[in-house]
């Protein structure tokens, strides 16, 4: 009797398994191989190295003119603000985050909505630079994204039901979250936003399946890290690069998230400005602000750091993504187009400076880099010390780039075919001056005033192919408005990027010749992706103008105030199916 029951149960179990085909869950291997597998996009950066390169060539320089929209999906509601999200695609489902901490699951082929989740946001959130979100991470059967009130939410990919939710930090103290989390060795790695409010930057690693905190590594020198609930050593040496107590509210926000190279085992996080902006209040290098910080994922300790702007006085957040790549002789290097206008090439294992060069036409705050990559400051281009004048306002300077940077949040791409980085760059400057300021929880902590201005009437943005060996700009496509969207490059010899004027564009990766464009109806400030499904290659990008430029852009914001907001997903394929 018992035996019959058991076999009946087993039979039933087998039947139900056969009835619902097993859905592959996202594994560490899937994530490590993401760049090479074309049927899915399971990480921010199309691979955690962040190259944004696809080996797909079905859409190529010869047939890209046949690229047409397949579907469009509106994020709906009245919440049409900046859409900076990179979608991820798995099992034929697309997961894309929207402004105001929303996430949508869509049928990747048809755009049909499967579910949507709207995070309940409290009053009093303090996002500095629009209510954006840059994307979700996938792991197991979960889709994980961060919210503007500094929480991390993991949802079931099939149902949209919350599986776990963790508080990253206190939104009332100025913390928020806008980056796409990344996954490394089963850990979900996140940074924090809030550098304009005197928060303390850090990188957290959590068990991706449960949300349980594994380690935490502060990115302001002097703060204690933790691992498995125990002290795990101080970051650097207390007061070595910070005077007095300023390190306790030292900023250095890791607001753009990070990249991870499985070969080095290191996660690379960029860090923002030291707080406050008034650099005269904090003599010293103010580590680890405006740096790339390489953290051993296994230990939660900093292995190396490289600082682009020591004692920053211009809000040159060094958050920009560190994209690793392999040279022909097998060396692992990383490239970074810093907000301060310099492009850095570093050894990805040791952090050793290889070379650096400007990727913008004009830089005023430094005359160049020394043999270690440290900037040669122009003392006259640092905003003056208010304490040396009337005590209320220091002397104003005109500095280039502006604090919105030679490059900002929009991620670049790297092609192993051409060996070039494709950098969305901007040419602009700013009037900037310093004022006295003291820290107050939850209040802006700047001690500076500013106005962003154009430096060339004909263009601000320029998509540039940058050769990391020669330091040359090989080609560029200029753009009237500042570029604010990311880049995708493919084996098909193409580079895709969006413009605030609403176009998704494609150019020949070798020459920069524009070969295709499509008007999406609102500004594109997000990175495009590509994947293939049932034999066809798809391209996708979110559209919706917003982000920091309309809020902080000064004269440039006025110049582009004709641009309309939006919120939608666009997907394209060849209408002749590649024939
Ligand atoms: Ca993939
Ligand atoms: Ca900043």
For 497-530, write each residue's pLDDT tens digit. 999 999 999 999 999 999 999 999 999 999 999 9
For 417-473, write each residue's pLDDT tens digit. 999 999 999 999 999 999 999 999 999 999 999 999 999 999 999 999 999 999 999
Catalytic residue among 315, 329, 347, 467: 315
Tell how far the Cα of 46 is from the centroid of ligand 1, in angstroms. Answer: 7
Q: Say which residue the tokens 């994980």 belong to.
A: 144
Tell how far the Cα of 251 is from the centroid of ligand 2, in angstroms. Answer: 8
Q: 225-259 as b/e, with b when 16 or more CB fall inside 10 Å? A: bbbeeeebeebbeeeebbeeebbebbbbbbbbbbb
For 131-182, write each residue's pLDDT tens digit. 999 999 999 999 999 999 999 999 999 999 999 999 999 999 999 999 999 9
Is residue 512 included in any domain, yes or no?
A: yes
Q: 3-class DSSP state for residue 4?
A: helix
The two tokens of residue 93 are 């489902």
**Which ligand places an atom closest to the C-alpha of 198?**
2
7 vs 516, which has greater pLDDT? 516
Output the pLDDT for position 78: 79
Is residue 108 included in any domain, yes or no?
A: yes
**Which ligand places an atom closest to the C-alpha of 33?**
1
Tell how far the Cα of 48 is from the centroid of ligand 1, in angstroms. Answer: 10
Is residue 256 included in any domain, yes or no?
A: yes
Is residue 278 included in any domain, yes or no?
A: yes
Q: 3-class DSSP state for residue 380?
A: helix
% of the chain with per-residue pLDDT over 70: 96
The whole-angstrom separation of Cα 380 and Cα 396 is: 10
Output the pLDDT for position 415: 98
**Which ligand places an atom closest to the C-alpha of 277?**
2
Tell how far the Cα of 554 is from the centroid of ligand 1, in angstroms. Answer: 40
Q: Read off the pTM.
A: 0.95
Domain around 29: 2-574
The 3-state DSSP composition of the chain as helix, strand, coil percent (nearest 5) reads 10, 40, 50
Q: What's the CATH number where 87 sits?
A: 2.140.10.10
Is residue 126 included in any domain, yes or no?
A: yes
Tell how far the Cα of 43 is from the centroid of ligand 1, in angstroms. Answer: 8
For 45-78, write each residue's pLDDT tens digit. 999 999 999 999 999 999 999 999 999 999 998 7
Pairing of strands 568-574, 67-74: antiparallel
The whole-angstrom separation of Cα 517 and Cα 503 is: 6
The whole-angstrom separation of Cα 538 and Cα 549 is: 30
Output the pLDDT for position 5: 44
For 96-129, write each residue's pLDDT tens digit. 999 999 999 999 999 999 999 999 999 999 998 9
The pLDDT-based confidence of 22 (bands split at 50, 70, 90) is low
Please give the C-alpha separations between residue 527 and each of 84, 111, 420, in angstroms, as whole numbers: 7, 18, 18
The whole-angstrom separation of Cα 106 and Cα 333 is: 36
Q: Which residues contact 413 (CB under 8 A, 6 or more apart)?
A: 51, 52, 53, 421, 422, 486, 487, 488, 489, 495
The whole-angstrom separation of Cα 47 and Cα 400 is: 33
Tell how far the Cα of 458 is from the centroid of ligand 1, in angstroms. Answer: 39
The whole-angstrom separation of Cα 408 and Cα 404 is: 6
For 339-391, write each residue's pLDDT tens digit. 999 999 999 999 999 999 999 999 999 999 999 999 999 999 999 999 998 99
Pairing of strands 53-54, 487-490: parallel
Tell how far the Cα of 36 is from the centroid of ligand 2, in angstroms. Answer: 34
**Which ligand places an atom closest to the C-alpha of 38?**
1
Tell how far the Cα of 108 is from the centroid of ligand 2, in angstroms. Answer: 35
**Which ligand places an atom closest to the C-alpha of 448?**
2
Pairing of strands 213-218, 202-207: antiparallel
Q: Which residues contact 318 (CB under 8 A, 6 or more apart)?
A: 270, 271, 272, 289, 290, 291, 292, 307, 308, 309, 336, 338, 339, 340
Tell how far the Cα of 300 is from the centroid of ligand 2, in angstroms. Answer: 25
Is residue 314 included in any domain, yes or no?
A: yes
Tell how far the Cα of 38 is from the centroid of ligand 2, in angstroms. Answer: 36
For residue 19, is pLDDT > 70?
Answer: no
The two tokens of residue 177 are 């979250």
The whole-angstrom separation of Cα 76 and Cα 95 is: 16
Sign of the Cα pseudo-torsion (67, 68, 71, 75, in order): positive
Is residue 366 included in any domain, yes or no?
A: yes
**φ/ψ of residue 93, rounded to 5:** -115, 140
Sign of the Cα pseudo-torsion (188, 97, 318, 338, in order): positive
Indicate the average pLDDT of the chain.
Answer: 95
Tell how far the Cα of 273 is from the centroid of ligand 2, in angstroms. Answer: 5
The whole-angstrom separation of Cα 396 and Cα 383 is: 6
Tell how far the Cα of 90 is from the centroid of ligand 1, in angstroms. Answer: 9
Q: Indicate if 315 belongs to the active site.
A: yes
**Which ligand places an atom closest to the C-alpha of 37?**
1
Is residue 579 included in any domain, yes or no?
A: no
The whole-angstrom separation of Cα 252 and Cα 316 is: 11
**Which ligand places an atom closest to the C-alpha of 43?**
1
Domain count, the chain: 1
């Amino acid at each position: 009797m018992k035996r019959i029951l058991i076999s009946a149960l087993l039979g039933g179990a087998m039947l139900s398994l056969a009835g619902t085909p097993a859905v592959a869950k996202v594994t560490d291997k899937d994530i490590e191989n993401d760049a090479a597998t074309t049927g899915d996009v399971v990480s921010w950066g199309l691979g955690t190295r962040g190259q944004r390169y696809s080996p797909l060539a079905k859409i190529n320089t010869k047939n890209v003119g046949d690229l047409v929209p397949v579907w469009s999906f509106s994020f709906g509601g009245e919440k049409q603000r900046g859409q900076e999200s990179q979608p991820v695609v798995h099992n034929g489902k697309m997961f894309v985050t929207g402004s105001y901490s929303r996430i949508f699951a869509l049928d990747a082929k048809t755009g049909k909505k499967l579910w949507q989740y709207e995070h309940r946001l409290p009053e009093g959130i303090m996002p500095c630079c629009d209510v954006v979100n840059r994307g979700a991470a996938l792991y197991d059967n979960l889709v994980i994204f961060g919210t503007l009130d500094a929480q991390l939410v993991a949802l079931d990919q099939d149902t949209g039901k919350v599986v776990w939710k963790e508080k990253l930090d206190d939104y009332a103290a100025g913390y928020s979250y806008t980056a796409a989390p990344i996954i490394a060795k089963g850990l979900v790695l996140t940074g924090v936003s809030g550098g304009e409010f005197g928060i303390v930057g850090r990188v957290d690693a959590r068990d991706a399946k449960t949300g349980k905190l594994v380690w935490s590594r502060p990115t302001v020198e002097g703060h204690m890290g933790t691992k498995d609930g125990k002290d795990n050593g101080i970051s650097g040496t207390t007061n070595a690069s910070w005077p007095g107590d300023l390190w306790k509210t030292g900023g250095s926000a890791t607001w753009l998230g990070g990249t991870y190279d499985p070969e080095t085992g290191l996660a690379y996080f960029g860090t923002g400005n030291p707080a406050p902006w008034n650099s005269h209040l904090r003599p010293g290098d103010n580590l680890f602000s405006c740096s790339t910080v390489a953290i051993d994922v296994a230990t939660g300790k900093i292995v190396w750091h490289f600082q682009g702007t020591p004692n920053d006085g211009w809000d040159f957040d060094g958050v920009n993504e560190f994209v690793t790549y392999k040279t022909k002789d097998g060396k692992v290097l990383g490239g970074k187009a810093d907000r301060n206008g310099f492009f850095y090439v570093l050894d990805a294992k040791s952090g050793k400076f290889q070379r650096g060069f400007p990727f913008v036409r004009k830089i005023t705050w430094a005359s160049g880099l020394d043999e270690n990559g440290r900037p040669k400051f122009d003392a006259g281009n640092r905003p003056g010390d208010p304490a040396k004048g009337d005590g209320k306002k220091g002397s104003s300077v005109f500095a280039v780039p502006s604090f919105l940077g030679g490059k900002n949040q929009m991620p670049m791409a790297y092609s192993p075919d051409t060996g070039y980085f494709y950098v969305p760059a901007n040419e602009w400057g700013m009037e900037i001056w310093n004022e006295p300021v003291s820290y107050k929880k939850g209040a802006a902590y700047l001690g500076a005033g500013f106005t962003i201005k154009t430096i060339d009437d004909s263009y601000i943005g320029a998509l540039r192919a940058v050769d990391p060996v020669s330091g040359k700009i090989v080609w560029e496509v200029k753009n009237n408005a500042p570029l604010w969207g990311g880049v995708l490059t493919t084996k098909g010899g193409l580079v895709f990027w969006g413009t605030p004027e609403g176009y998704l564009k494609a150019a020949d990766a070798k020459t920069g010749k524009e070969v295709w464009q499509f008007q999406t109806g609102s500004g594109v400030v997000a990175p495009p992706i590509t994947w293939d499904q049932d034999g066809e290659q798809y391209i996708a990008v979110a559209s919706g103008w917003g982000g920091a430029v309309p809020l902080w852009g000064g004269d440039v914001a006025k110049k582009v105030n004709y641009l309309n907001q939006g919120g939608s997903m666009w997907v394209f394929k060849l209408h002749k199916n590649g024939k």
